[in-house]
Amino acid sequence: MKLVEALDIVPGISQVIDIGAAAKAGTVTSYSTRMPRISIKQWKMFHAVIDCGGFDGAADRLHVTQSTVSHAVAKLQEQLGLSLLELKGRKAHITAEGQWLLERSRELVRHANALEALADNLRQGWGPDVRVAIDPGFPSDLLIQAVRHCSPSLHDMRLSVSEVTPDGARRALHAGEVDIAIGAQPVAGFAARFLFEVEHIAVAHPAHPLLSGKRAITYDELVTHSQIVIGPEQHGGVASPAESASHPPGAWRVCHPDRAIDILRQGVGYAWLPRFQVQQALDARHLCAVPVVGGRHYHTRLYLMCAQSVAAGSAARQFADALQVCSARCLHAGTGQS
């Protein structure tokens, strides 16, 4: 009889206790105490072969010889008793067994890297790192409120915040480049928690031709003018085809709403921006809402997602919970986010 007991230390790893084999001796043997046969270095070389399509590319990426990579992967397969790769010509193809182990082993490597990074921070007297990617429509003041909401033990954490598009959030989560992502689209494979809706309105300078008449502007008229588009820099540095296609011809691409507002105040173009970000400029008559046929606004829903490596009780998990609590307060207070 075997009892499988889930371990909290490393997600996805189970402790197998063989009760029947130990019954006669009156003891229970835990196989979780066995030393791992495979090193993190071997798993990294296996990943490099997959990512680079072969041993030569993996060797170049890792700055080692091709024979070093070949030997490490061959030893890995021998120790596992499984064939993870098959060679077709000069290209390595992953087997079904290799595919099963690929993502789990990537998670293991991410945990090992995170553990070493945490140790480095502790050695230097720093708090834990929490990497957050947010949609440009997420209010910055909620980040501050969430930090204040956290327990005093987390007030020395190092918070790294970047702004991303929905596709950028997806890529960052899958690549393990962030701990928390707040985006306008749920990402498959990650639990998404709804935060609130953000109202976007079309705005332009009062003297812009779009506001010269007293009638509603059609979509066909709107697209004849330059649009200021918010397009944050992406993890990896290259926009996806979907992101590029979302920017109309003649559009100005800027990284932050504040830069868009500065350009609009010079009388250039129009933009769809979150109302809470332009309300001050609207009140001061520096910008005006464009009267668009069918309505001057639309809404986007924001979701919070955590990387799969974020464990319960970790600094990132506590900060994610604080973000949700503060967002809920904002929603219930009716502060204009929805």
- pLDDT tens across 142-182, in order? 988 998 888 776 667 788 898 888 888 898 998 888 999 99
Do 65 and 58 contact (CB within 8 A), yes or no? no
C-alpha 265/C-alpha 233 separation (Å) is 23
Whether domain 127-338 has CATH 3.90.1820.10: the reply is no
% of the chain beyond a pLDDT of 70 = 77
Which CATH fold would you assign to the domain 40-121? Arc Repressor Mutant, subunit A (1.10.10)
Copy the structure tokens of residue 253.
């691409």
C-alpha 21/C-alpha 27 separation (Å) is 9
Residue type, position 52, single letter: C
Write down the domain spans for the chain.
Answer: 2-33, 40-121, 127-338
User: 306: alpha, beta or left, given left = phi > 0 and alpha = psi -120 to 50?
Assistant: beta
C-alpha 7/C-alpha 176 separation (Å) is 22
- pLDDT tens across 98-114, in order? 999 998 898 888 878 77
C-alpha 263/C-alpha 261 separation (Å) is 5
pLDDT attached to residue 118: 66
Quick one: DSSP state of residue 307? -
C-alpha 254/C-alpha 232 separation (Å) is 7
pTM recorded for the entire structure: 0.58
